[in-house]
Chains A and B, each alone.
Chain A
Amino acid sequence: MASLDSAIAHEKRSIDRKAIIQKFAALAGLVLLVIAFSLTSGAFLTMSNVVTIALQTSTIAFIGIGATVTIITAGIDLSLGSVLALAGVVAAMAAQMGVPVPLAFLIGVATGGVCGVFNGLVITRLKLPPFIATLGMMMIARGVALQITGARPVSGLPSSFGTLGNDSLWRVLTETANGFPKIVFPGIPYPVILMAVLAIIMAVVLRKTPFGRHLYSIGSNEEAARLSGVKITKVKIGAYVLSGLMAGVAGIVLMSRLVTGQPNEGVAYELDAIAAAVIGGTSLAGGVGTISGTIIGAFIIGILRNGLNMNGVSSFTQMIIIGLVIIGTVWIDQLRNRR
């Protein structure tokens, strides 16, 4: 028995080590990128650029988290980008009509949730494949956003509408001799804080709650989950609602940054979201995926864009490089898992 116990202890260590190495590999890629870009561009590793990267990454992270949740159930949410736009313009229109801004934001996020409920019902009640259901929603949400705004930006918003997207916590300013404010520390933008908070909450939901466990079990083997008493319908609807809410959050943050409601915002963003999840180790076959991985994936995409921009790489070349990165990381991941 003693030898069995020690064997178990040994194995536990080696499994932990394996998990750490896997995380480490993605993180190492991230670090390598940072090193490469700071060598090629002096402006890359400045405080203000770091803040910019975090800000840009937050949008991918929000919808990336949404994508992760649905992909874990072996589903997919193609409506993220459109729902983002709809949620954002609804919030903007509400604010324009005089609804207090915080309430307008809540209405926007809730709009995302409603789209999620619709997706979930179509998938579980009409029993359509998630790909089709959310493809439909992708068009519906975009159409509604264009329709209600007349395809024009929603402007003339109160200035507080821009606070969430443009202000920071702990910004430190000093006054220079000639009276201009000088930024000592740019502070942490609210979207970045929101990203950290939501990532932690969602990581806990996935790892530690029965609901999270059920997401994985549905993705791993839906029939076994059903026969084990998992309420498939409820859990799946829950997954799409979460996804919709995350798109809603991304929508209000983005529109707040622009201080306008842009019905054309977020086209094809769902692909970035799916890419972040996949780079972070989420399996499209379902049952596998983590929030931390997705956040790393989102940063890899965000840093690549930013660094390539700084190096004057054209956006077409950027697309090529990011495409190759997606294929490369997933291939490496599979190699690691093969033996």
Chain B
Amino acid sequence: MSAVISGQAARIPEGEVADPILKARGVVKRFPGVLALNNIQLELRRGEVHALCGENGAGKSTLMKVVTGQLQPDEGEVTYKGQPVHFDTLQDSEAAGITMIHQELNLVPHLTVAENIFLAREPKKGWFVDRKKMEADAQIFLDRLKVNIKASDLVLSLSVARQQMVEIAKALSLNAEVLIMDEPTSALTESEIDQLFAIIHELKRQGVAIAYISHRLQELGRIVDRVTVMRDGGYVWTKPFDEVTVDDIVAAMVGRSLEQQFPERVSTPTDELIFEVRNLSGVRNCRNVNFTLRRGEILGFAGLMGAGRTETARAIFGADPKTGGEVLLEGEEITIASPVDAIKAGIAYLAEDRKLNGLSVKMTVKENITMANIEAVVRHGLIDKAAEAQAARQSIAKLGIKTPSIDQVVRNLSGGNQQKVVIGKWLFRESRVLFFDEPTRGIDVGAKFAIYQLLDQLASEGIGVVMITSELPEILGMTDRVVVFHEGEVSGILETRKTDQEEIMQYASGVKRMSL
């Protein structure tokens, strides 16, 4: 295994039109009750970054799984380097030079970073794994990404963002000629995205063809050469990025044009305090946190990855132990020792990592939606099937969850639709304060708008809404005040109207600090 990324792939001189390395034509894929791909075409050229855009459930991930042999198409053909190909497994396509970074990360938590990167192709010394070489090689790829991760770290000790970086390092180590990235940036911070884009530019120069799936359309301009838009499993068009605007893409994705990114706020903050946290400390990355939440207001939590926003919310919710401090709900102090207590008191926490903490992917849409409030559909000690179905259908309609039925297993939904199921679960329970941790991660533009409207509506109903997000435009567009975190502490609380991206970043990076 060569430890350098250097060009196995052919270098393409600037300006020359590259030939397609990977082509899909007339691809059809059916699942029970779903036509996931309907006569799709796609053409990837060497040295291009090709964006794939479409709403949640449009079929983007499915198409990539077909191309990489994880799913077999019902119709259509895939050609690679001019030859029709048929990959039976992901390993086959990897061996041929096609690598995919999955939307749902695929790392083994109990192994080290190096072991994950070289899983099933460990460097050997005789019969044994050559640990030293493996860790040294892995470290080279990690260092290229300029991330502060040690090859000997256990994956389970890393944040989602860092795990994402490990996936990328793994792809680099495979010397891929075609690299598929399914929402690689959804869990990354601005500076991590900058590093990723630098790497993408370099790979592009080396002639690697990159398929790039993202719902963060604003960032496409920085790397993308061409765009293909899909809608409802069908092909809409492929165009050079220079010739279109983000609005064009959105219009093609949803079949109509969306005027604004954020809805007009209906809720207005009052002076009445509904929730207050005093001197809260937790066991992990949460020290002496103070903030208040007023009725009708949407409060934002901003900060860099690892700043302690999630840890603070988890400590409040009782998911992690607290070491000190008070939590007051509508003026009264409450004790929360576990999520059960929190939920009973009317506090909900929508976890950031849906696969790990949010969903039971083996269970159905219906069962997930009622999970936090099963009592609501129980009659005489038994679950009332009709009432439960009704509740599930209402959530599906309200959030526009795309699923063939309420009895679909959640694992079979597209990533964005899984996220909507998590939101549905917490909306099915009436709460007094809701913490939304990265609620729009992996969600398409149209659905994001719907979720913003929903947050606003909750706030206007007098429910306390806290939105934890790494997207500063969301903070600026939706919140009334923002609590900025830095290294486990609150570094500032700002009026959203009177601040801007730059000032928030100064507090987030610790350059500025309020005395609170």
Interface residues of A (CB under 8 A from B): 7-8, 10-12, 14-15, 18, 204, 207-210, 213-214, 216-217, 220-221, 223-231, 287-288
Contact = CB atoms under 8 A, between A and B. Distances in A.
B129 interface: no
A224 B340 contact: no
B363 A216 contact: yes
A288 B362 contact: yes
A12 B405 contact: yes
Interface in B261-313: none
Interface residues of B, number: 34
B33 A229 contact: no
B405 A287 contact: no
A128 B117 CA distance: 31
A225 B371 contact: yes
Contacts of B404: 7-8, 11
Nearest to A8: B405
Given A11-B404, A12-B405, A210-B378, A217 B367 contact: yes
A207 B356 CA distance: 25
A287 B359 CA distance: 13
B33 A213 contact: no
B36 to A, nearest CB: 13
Nearest to A288: B362
A207 B358 CA distance: 22
B361 A220 contact: yes
A288 B364 CA distance: 11
A11 B317 CA distance: 38
A160 B395 CA distance: 57
A204 B361 contact: no
Contact of A213 (B344, B358, B383, B405): B383
Contacts of B317: 227
A83 to B, nearest CB: 28
B425 interface: yes
Max chain A CB contacts within 10 Å: which of B340, B343, B371? Answer: B371
B381 A217 contact: no
Nearest to B344: A229
7 contacts: A210-B374, A213-B367, A213-B371, A214-B374, A224-B351, A224-B360, A226-B319
Contacts, number: 90
B450 interface: no
B361 A221 contact: yes
Nearest to B342: A229
B339 A229 contact: yes
Interface in B336-377: 339-340, 342-344, 349, 351, 356-363, 367, 371-372, 374-375
B360 A287 contact: yes
B32 interface: yes
A225 B363 CA distance: 12
Contact of B371 (A217, A223, A231): A217
Contacts of A226: 319, 339
Given A8-B405, A208-B382, A228 B425 contact: yes
Contact of A11 (B32, B343, B372, B383): B32
Contact of A209 (B342, B344, B351, B381): B381
B32 A224 contact: no
Interface in B28-60: 32-34
Contact of A229 (B343, B358, B381): B343
B58 to A, nearest CB: 16
Contacts of A8: 404-405
Contacts of A229: 339-340, 342-344, 372
Contacts of A214: 374
A208 B358 CA distance: 23
Contacts of B153: none
Contacts of B344: 229
A11 B361 CA distance: 19
A313 B339 CA distance: 57
B339 A224 contact: no
A214 B370 CA distance: 11
Which 7 pairs of residues, A with B, have the shortest CB-CB distance?
A11-B33, A220-B360, A11-B404, A229-B343, A228-B372, A287-B362, A208-B382
A12 B34 CA distance: 12
Contact of A7 (B33, B342, B375): B33
B383 A208 contact: yes
B359 A221 contact: yes
A230 B172 CA distance: 41
A230 B372 CA distance: 8
A224 B383 contact: no
Contacts of A213: 367, 371, 374, 383
A10 B407 CA distance: 12
Given A209-B382, A224-B357, 13 more contacts: A7-B33, A11-B404, A11-B405, A208-B382, A208-B383, A220-B363, A221-B361, A221-B362, A224-B358, A226-B339, A230-B371, A231-B340, A287-B363
Contact of B359 (A7, A224, A288): A224
B418 to A, nearest CB: 12
Contacts of A221: 356, 359-362
Contacts of A216: 360, 363, 367
Contacts of A14: 32-33
Contacts of B32: 11, 14-15, 18
Q: Which of B32, B33, B358, B408 has the most CB of A within 10 A?
A: B33
Contacts of A217: 360, 363, 367, 371
B383 A225 contact: no
A210 B372 CA distance: 11
Contact of B383 (A15, A210, A223): A210
A209 B339 contact: no
A225 B360 contact: yes
Contact of A227 (B339, B363, B378, B407): B339
A316 to B, nearest CB: 37
Contacts of B378: 210
A7 B356 CA distance: 31
Contacts of B340: 229, 231
B501 to A, nearest CB: 32
B107 to A, nearest CB: 17
